[in-house]
Amino acid sequence: MKKPKQIFILTASIGTGHSQAARAIAEAINLLHPEDSVRVLDFVSRSVWSMDHMIKDTYLNMIRLFPDVYDNLYASSRNSQFGRLSQNLLSLTFKKKMRRLAEALRPDALIFTHPFPAGAADSLKKSGDLTIPLLGVITDFDIHQLWIDPHLDGFCVATEELKAMLAGYSISSEKIHVTGIPVRKAFCEEGKKERQPEKGTVLIMGGGLGLGKVIDNIKLLDPVEEISKFIVITGQNIALYEEIASLSATLRHPVELHSYTNKVAEIMSRSELLVTKPGALTCTEAMTINLPMVLINTLPGQERANAAYMANLGCARWIKRIQLAETVRQILTDAALRNSMIEACDCSHPDSARKVVELLYTMMPK
């Protein structure tokens, strides 16, 4: 009898998109290879005194408090000496932790949906301390220096443009595979249905961490008569949930309020329009369900690339806050515009998680 394979997907709880992609891949492995074992692990330590937790907190606080500083750091570290130095320092920081993890887990393969564990594993592969297949899954519509790990066995990217961009960093094009960004089965199933949204229902999201000026967006949109109802998902931001719960009594439109929920696919299918910051996973999930988007409150760094990509496809409008009310009104009242945005969503890869799994299994011994 063949020994079951042990596969681990390493992510990092810096935002929720990386974790959602990891869960989508794990779901596909369970479906396609139920005889094997798969687990999703958060590479970021829970200890507030650990180096990785401090890096996470610094990143989140910089985005919230000093977005322009982060934007400049992100831009200056792309394909530069500074970026390569940052990558090397992070890889060395996490290398010992990755070695301990690999020795304890004894995996048959590792998948990465975040560059921190990927860089550490790449360093171990280079030194010969890891010999198993290593697969990186890039969950944005941009390539950053932190993902340039030449000793990984494969990379999964969202588009042909990203494949060319990654190859421009001297990564062999044979290692780079266009799979799309993995989304969970629930979104694929909803995407196959003939969607019948509730007329005038606007879904407002701020990502899994509830970031962005969600309260301000609701207040700007409340006077729009064409809106019949708000659905708001606050993610893990409990303070935001409580604030909106208090605010809802003063609004002209009813509010259906959710915190962190596993029913996002069903909620998206009921909505006529999504207003959100452009996290790549959220945008890809919306595309899979054929849900038009208005992108606002773009976080610095990779979200600008995400927003530009979606706007160029035509499935989203990328706007400034002052344009929000009028843009939403226009989309809700113009059926032809709405339908063209829905049709532009067909560029998504609903079978992306399956493609990632199929690629991984070609890398492992039979």
Rounded Cα–Cα distance for residues 196 and 188 (Å): 16
49 pLDDT tier (thresholds 50, 70, 90): very low
Q: How high is the pLDDT of residue 195?
A: 86
Rounded Cα–Cα distance for residues 257 and 248 (Å): 9
Rounded Cα–Cα distance for residues 6 and 225 (Å): 54
Which has more confidence, 25 or 15? 25
Q: What is the maximum span of the chain, computed from C-alpha positions, in angstroms? A: 66
pLDDT higher than 70, residue 82: no
pLDDT higher than 60, residue 76: no
Rounded Cα–Cα distance for residues 105 and 122 (Å): 17
Across residues 223-234, what is the average pLDDT? 96
Which has more confidence, 211 or 31? 31
From 78-92, 211-225, 242-256, 269-283, the region with the lowest mean pLDDT? 78-92
**Range among 71-75, 90-94, 160-164 with highest mean pLDDT value:** 160-164
Rounded Cα–Cα distance for residues 316 and 308 (Å): 9
Q: How high is the pLDDT of residue 12?
A: 85
pLDDT higher than 50, residue 245: yes
106 φψ region: left (φ > 0), alpha (ψ -120 to 50), beta (else): left
pLDDT higher than 70, residue 222: yes
Percent of the chain with pLDDT over 70: 84
191 pLDDT tier (thresholds 50, 70, 90): confident
Q: How high is the pLDDT of residue 360?
A: 97
**Do residues 251 and 227 lie in contact, with contact meaning Cβ atoms separated by under 8 Å?**
no
Across residues 204-211, what is the average pLDDT? 68
pLDDT higher than 70, residue 260: yes
pLDDT higher than 60, residue 47: no
Q: Whole-prediction pTM value?
A: 0.89
Please name the helix (run of DSSP H) or strand (run of DSSP E) that holds residue 318, with its range, or none.
strand 316-318
48 pLDDT tier (thresholds 50, 70, 90): very low
84 pLDDT tier (thresholds 50, 70, 90): low
Which has more confidence, 94 or 189? 189
pLDDT higher than 80, residue 358: yes
Rounded Cα–Cα distance for residues 233 and 256 (Å): 9
Q: What is the mean pLDDT of the chain?
A: 87
From 64-73, 100-109, 193-202, 214-223, the region with the lowest mean pLDDT? 64-73
Rounded Cα–Cα distance for residues 233 and 258 (Å): 5
Strands 229-233 and 255-258: parallel
Q: How high is the pLDDT of residue 162?
A: 95
Percent of the chain with pLDDT over 90: 64
Token pair in block for residue 57: 């907190």
Please give the backbone phi and psi of residue 202, each rounded to the nearest 5 degrees, phi first: -110, 120
Q: How high is the pLDDT of residue 66?
A: 43
pLDDT higher than 50, residue 183: yes
**Do residues 236 and 208 lie in contact, with contact meaning Cβ atoms separated by under 8 Å?**
yes
Q: How high is the pLDDT of residue 348?
A: 64
Q: How high is the pLDDT of residue 356?
A: 97
Which has more confidence, 212 or 157? 157
Rounded Cα–Cα distance for residues 307 and 329 (Å): 20
- 290-346, pLDDT tens digit by residue? 999 999 988 767 888 899 999 999 999 999 999 999 999 999 999 999 999 999 997
Q: How many CB atoms lie within 10 A of CB 252?
A: 9
**Do residues 352 and 185 lie in contact, with contact meaning Cβ atoms separated by under 8 Å?**
no
Helices and strands counted in the chain (H then E):
15, 12
Across residues 224-243, what is the average pLDDT? 92
The letter for the amino acid at 187 is F
CA 105 from chain centre, in angstroms, equals: 26
| DSSP 3-state percent helix, strand, coil across the chain (nearest 5) | 50, 15, 35
Rounded Cα–Cα distance for residues 223 and 141 (Å): 34
- 111-128, pLDDT tens digit by residue? 999 988 999 999 999 999
58 pLDDT tier (thresholds 50, 70, 90): low
